[in-house]
A and B are shown apart, each in its own frame.
Chain A
Amino acid sequence: MTPLLEARGLSKFFPARDGKGLVRAVNDVSLSLAEGETLGIVGESGCGKSTLARMLMRLIEPSGGKVLFHGEDLLSLSRAAMRQKRRDIQIVFQDPYASLDPRMNIAQIIAEPLDIHGIGSTAERAAKVKDLIALVGLDPASATRYPHEFSGGQRQRIGIARAIALEPRLLVLDEPVSALDVSIQSQILNLLDDLKLRLRLSYVFISHDLSVVQHVSDRVAVMYLGRIVEEGPADAVLGEPKHPYTQALISAIPEIDPTRRKTHVLLPGDPPNPEDVPPGCAFNPRCPIAQEICRRDEPPLRSSGASRARCHFVDEA
């Protein structure tokens, strides 16, 4: 079966600030997402996960590689054809406040994609907006109110309503719950879960929070400095992580259980500057098991069990 979405060798290079080198924000990333699946992408700031998400829907033009949607190469589409295609691929951002026009009321915000794509009569659009407001769990009376009158969680519901207005097949969710408090986070995660089933959606779910990703994802890709360092079924990647970076990420999360205080595998130092990636394996300066070969050769993604990991010692790791 053709996957719903496939990225093949996707890269984004920016000129470095010194004008000489290249920043490899996303470097040769290949991924695939089956219909109905949720693919989680995790990594720390600067790892390239948001750039990758935007390239998947051509909000950022890739420097190289392919994005196939239902087998069709999105990068070969004209601007007009791509605009049409965006009906099928929509995005929800982290900060719903920054992504909602403060001068438009909620009904106008949710109707905007319908207006742009010229869908239905005025009356049909109004009815559709009403349905969407109910579907995402907002009070029907909120239609005439403005974004600043809503809390963070409610604003995220508005962002989601706008994203599903065109009945897309795929939602790219870029840190959709990161700005929310725990009690609100779970409301939004449940809403996303409901919508996925009801509307037969597929998700690309970007987050820095492993526990959230673990909860929602079927498959998980872990990114470090523009590269995927581990990828596979969520249970395998997060349950039996193969890459030392994934292992450290998991170990860094505190347990919500004071009787099970753990010793963290502490990574030394900070993630390196993407403008100055170390030779060999980019993770080697922080890696607890790095050897000579890691400082010299970049490891390929190697299969190990159900997942793939970019490590020379993947079987020993």
Chain B
Amino acid sequence: MSEHALLRVDGLTVGFSTEQGPVRVVEDVSFELKAGHTLGLVGESGCGKSVTAQTIMRLLPSPPSRIDAGRILFDGKDLAAATQREMQKIRGDRIGMVFQEPMTSLNPTLRIGEQIAEPLMLHRGQRRAEADEQVIGVLKQVGIGNAERRLLQYPHELSGGLRQRVMIAMAIICKPKLLIADEPTTALDVTIQAQIMELLKALQKELGLAVLLITHDLGMVAEMCETIAVMYAGRIVETGRTVDVFANPHHPYTYGLLTSSPRRARKGERLPSIPGLVPPPGARGQGCSFAARCPNVLERCRIDAPPLIALGKDAAACWNPVP
């Protein structure tokens, strides 16, 4: 493992206590992200990608969630062991966050200017009046024109795209080293998605941000991320450089995801599809969680969960990978 990793997640295992007893949602997840780099954490609903992101930021209430094992090393400090007080100092300062639905993450009763200034007041001890200049600067940086007027507006007066820009402005105003973006474009229309994606790409370069992008959209990872980690049923099943994984996916799940997209299929032809359903947490059993849907399944897969194994240029958790 590299010493230069800004974020190193090591064996992270997260469970929830439910009425039916404890349930593992994230299992032995490890990855690292170097300063200024981009990592895409992809997977379908329920794969554990958002729980992973929220655990890194320690945003999940405990109980019911619990870190059962693992470390989250950010700049050398283990966030898994940090107190909420310590986390408050880090969130919004050295780690910025952007979520899918800006309307639920922005405070509807506060003017835009006040919300964006909040991190400066909290982390830099600035007074509201001092912050204005910087707030206007950051609004311009995220492509919001007419910044002086926008400062006085409320979230409901803005479109979805503008609200997402406000979220991004709040996330970067303290010049974080790491930006965690959880489905940042999913709730937006196609043409607005493209605007936000270009903005994130530009800011990443300009500010030298490390970006952890959580998404279900493989196209977005292809465009934005140098490395990719594919999650399935709580585990990372394949990881590597994005170009390598896309060119030669080894895990049958990654292969299935890439080929079943209508963007890649030929018109009128049947889409390759992955049969069956993702097993819910608590019903994943022993062995590989993908075994029941896997075209390459072996007897061993049903008994023994494979670890990540180096294969060609990337690594896949599979006993019988796609060559």
Contact = CB atoms under 8 A, between A and B. Distances in A.
A185 B260 contact: yes
A151 B271 contact: no
B1 interface: no
**In this complex, which of B191, B193, B247, B277 has the most chain A Cβ atoms within 10 angstroms of its Cβ?**
B191
Given A256-B218, A256-B261, A190 B270 contact: yes
Interface in A98-157: 151, 153-154
Contact of A264 (B194, B216, B274): B194
A189 B270 CA distance: 8
B198 A182 contact: no
Contact of B220 (A210, A234, A248, A254): A254
Given A249-B190, A266-B194, A181 B223 contact: no
Given A183-B260, A190-B273, A264-B198, A270 B267 contact: no
A259 interface: yes
Interface in B249-269: 256-258, 260-265, 267-268
Contacts of B263: 211, 253, 255-256
A182 B44 contact: yes
Interface in A250-274: 251-259, 261, 264, 266-267, 270-271
A255 B222 contact: yes
Contacts of B304: none
Contact of B222 (A186, A215, A249, A258): A258
A212 B198 CA distance: 23
A185 B278 CA distance: 13
Interface residues of A, number: 40
Interface string B186-226: 00011111110110000000000000000011111111000
The range of chain B's interface size is 35 or more
A286 B100 CA distance: 25
Contacts of A45: 189
A214 B269 CA distance: 12
B262 A248 contact: no
Contacts, number: 119
A44 interface: yes
B31 interface: no
Given A214-B267, A249-B190, A253-B190, A186 B273 contact: yes
A182 B272 CA distance: 11
B271 A215 contact: yes
Given A153-B277, A182-B44, A256-B218, A211 B190 contact: no
Contacts of B45: 181
B161 interface: yes
Interface in A161-201: 181-187, 189-190, 193
A106 B127 CA distance: 60
A184 B218 CA distance: 15
A193 B270 CA distance: 8
B260 A186 contact: yes
Contacts of A215: 262, 265, 267-268, 271
A267 B188 CA distance: 14
B246 interface: yes
What is the interface of chain A mostly: helix, strand, loop, or mixed? helix
A208 interface: yes
B63 interface: no
A86 B261 CA distance: 33
A49 to B, nearest CB: 12
Nearest to A181: B44
Contacts of A151: 277
B162 interface: yes
Given A208-B190, A258-B242, A270-B161, A182 B260 contact: yes
A235 B161 CA distance: 30
Contacts of B296: none
Nearest to A260: B222
A255 B257 contact: no
B272 A186 contact: yes
Contacts of A187: 273-275
Given A151-B277, A153-B277, A44 B191 contact: yes
Contacts of B265: 215
18 contacts: A182-B260, A189-B271, A190-B271, A211-B261, A251-B194, A252-B190, A254-B217, A254-B219, A254-B220, A255-B263, A256-B219, A256-B258, A256-B263, A257-B246, A259-B247, A261-B222, A266-B191, A266-B194
Given A214-B262, A270-B162, 18 more contacts: A44-B190, A151-B277, A181-B216, A182-B216, A186-B274, A187-B273, A190-B271, A190-B273, A214-B267, A215-B271, A249-B191, A255-B263, A256-B222, A256-B261, A257-B246, A258-B243, A258-B246, A267-B195
9 closest cross-chain pairs (CB), A and B: A254-B219, A252-B194, A181-B44, A186-B271, A186-B273, A215-B262, A44-B189, A186-B260, A183-B274
Interface of A: 44-45, 151, 153-154, 181-187, 189-190, 193, 208, 210-212, 214-215, 234-235, 248-249, 251-259, 261, 264, 266-267, 270-271
